[in-house]
Amino acid sequence: MAGATTLGDLAGALGVRAEESAIVAELKAGSEDAYTWLIGEFHQPIYSLVYRMVSDPADAADTTQEVFLKVFRGMKHFHGESSLKTWIYRIAVHEASNRRRWWFRHKAHETSIEPAHAEFESGAAPALKDMLVDGGESPFDNVVHEEVSARVEQELREVAEPYRTTVVLRDLEGMSYEEIAEITQVSLGTVKSRLTRGRNALRQRLLAYVREVGPQLGLQAPEEREARLQAPPRFSPDGREVEVTP
């Protein structure tokens, strides 16, 4: 069974590569249909990634447009050393990093007229609530998730680079360590180190918030949860285990 599974995975991977090769050939030939597919497939996730790196919706839109211009112009130089997705994401990370550096040099002291938590038009970066909210939840649960998601997004923007990008690629984009290493052009060890430091930085930034609103929202700080898990169980006189609230 394991052998069959391995062969099936291999056949699937070969099929994906063959399909991607055909798409790349169409793109290099200048097919409008292929470029329409490319934009439909990658525009939303690329905008989402760029927005989380540059934080400003207008800058994210401009940078995303620049990413696709670089993709279109550079397609003739794409030779399949990595997957098409990895190549596009590498361009996006590079362009977003350049935009972020430019912003700090030229716009850091300007006041943006963009609302901090604006509702974005179609194609904008989705909030974490889109991945967290269950359609069957109560209105209160929805509000709780929206509040928590907004705060996570806010604190994530304050995590230093390159740790923030690594967290975004791994925890929000769901990429493998190998893909992240290709995109950011660092070793696997560096990816794992950056991910650990990024997660720790985000956790530290959220601790005060969790302590403040935890009782109302049902959240628990990591150290409190750890202490609770390590605490010895309590039993009632009839021998049943009971939960003891601190």
The encoded tokens of residue 9 equal: 């995975």
Give the integer Cα–Cα distance in Å for 114 and 86.
31
The encoded tokens of residue 47 equal: 């905008």
| Predicted pLDDT of residue 210 | 79
**Per-residue CA distances from 11 to 19, 21, 178 (Å):** 12, 15, 20
Alpha carbon of residue 95 to chain centroid: 17
Give the integer Cα–Cα distance in Å for 180 and 18.
23
Q: Taking the model in full, what pTM does it have?
A: 0.65
DSSP state of 233: P
Number of neighbouring beta carbons within 10 Å of residue 163:
19
| Predicted pLDDT of residue 148 | 75
CB-count exposure of residue 54 (10 Å: 0-12, 13-18, 19+): buried
Residues linked to residue 234 through DSSP beta bridges, in sequence order = 242
Per-residue pLDDT tens listing for the chain (246 residues): 444 445 445 344 445 567 888 888 999 898 899 999 999 999 999 999 999 888 788 889 999 999 999 999 999 889 888 889 999 999 999 999 888 776 555 555 554 444 444 443 444 444 444 444 444 554 445 555 677 778 888 888 889 999 999 999 999 889 999 999 999 999 999 999 999 999 999 999 888 887 876 666 566 655 555 555 555 555 544 555 544 444
Instruction: Give me the amino acid identity at 155.
Output: E
Give the integer Cα–Cα distance in Å for 156 and 55.
10
Residue tagged 């290493």 (tokens): 181
Q: Strands of the chain (E only): list them.
A: 234-235, 241-242
Give the integer Cα–Cα distance in Å for 93 and 99.
10
- The candidate with the shortest Cα–Cα distance to 223, out of 241, 242, 204, is 204
Cis peptide before 162, with omega less than 30 degrees from 0?
yes
Q: Which domains does the chain have, with CATH numbers?
A: 32-105 (1.10.1740.10), 126-219 (1.10.10.10)
